[in-house]
Structure 1
Amino acid sequence: MDIHTTKFELLKAIIENENSEFIQKVAHFVKREKADFWNELGSAEQKEIKKGIR
């Protein structure tokens, strides 16, 4: 199955699903995946990366 077919099937499953808990889980997953990795790092890690860039 190619990526476009997979995306279509996912979209179809979401649209047809009436289970609000399922929809909330999907929404939470998508938001987590979009999170900027920088914000997930600790301050010590951020400082080391900035140091490395300099």
Structure 2
Amino acid sequence: MDIQLEKLELIKMLAETEDPAIIKSIQKIFKKEKKDWWDDLNEFQKEEIRLAEKQIENGEYSDFESFIKKYI
């Protein structure tokens, strides 16, 4: 089925419903979809990213081609 047609059908169903539970359920789905991936990381992973950001700010990095030449 065409995605645009499916969206229109959902819009129609949403507009016609009077059930607050359905509306709340849909709201929860959209809020869950907008979840920030950062929140799923553990502290070690977050610290590794922070360290990498500091290294980049200080110019402590190499470009991809140099990296590949070094390890291949």
Q: Same fold (TM over 0.5)?
A: yes
Runs of at least 4 residues of structure 1 off by over 4 A? 51-54
Structure whose CA Rg is larger: 2
CA distance in 2, matches of 1:24, 1:18: 11
Counting aligned pairs with the same residue, the percent is 32
Look up the match of 2:29: 29
Which structure features the higher share of helix residues?
A: 1
1:34-49 aligned at under 5 Å gives the runs 34-48=34-48
Matched, 1:9 2:9: yes
Q: Which runs of 5+ in 2 are unaligned?
A: 56-72
TM-score for both structures, normalised by structure 1: 0.73
TM-score for both structures, normalised by structure 2: 0.59
Alignment root-mean-square deviation, CA: 1.8
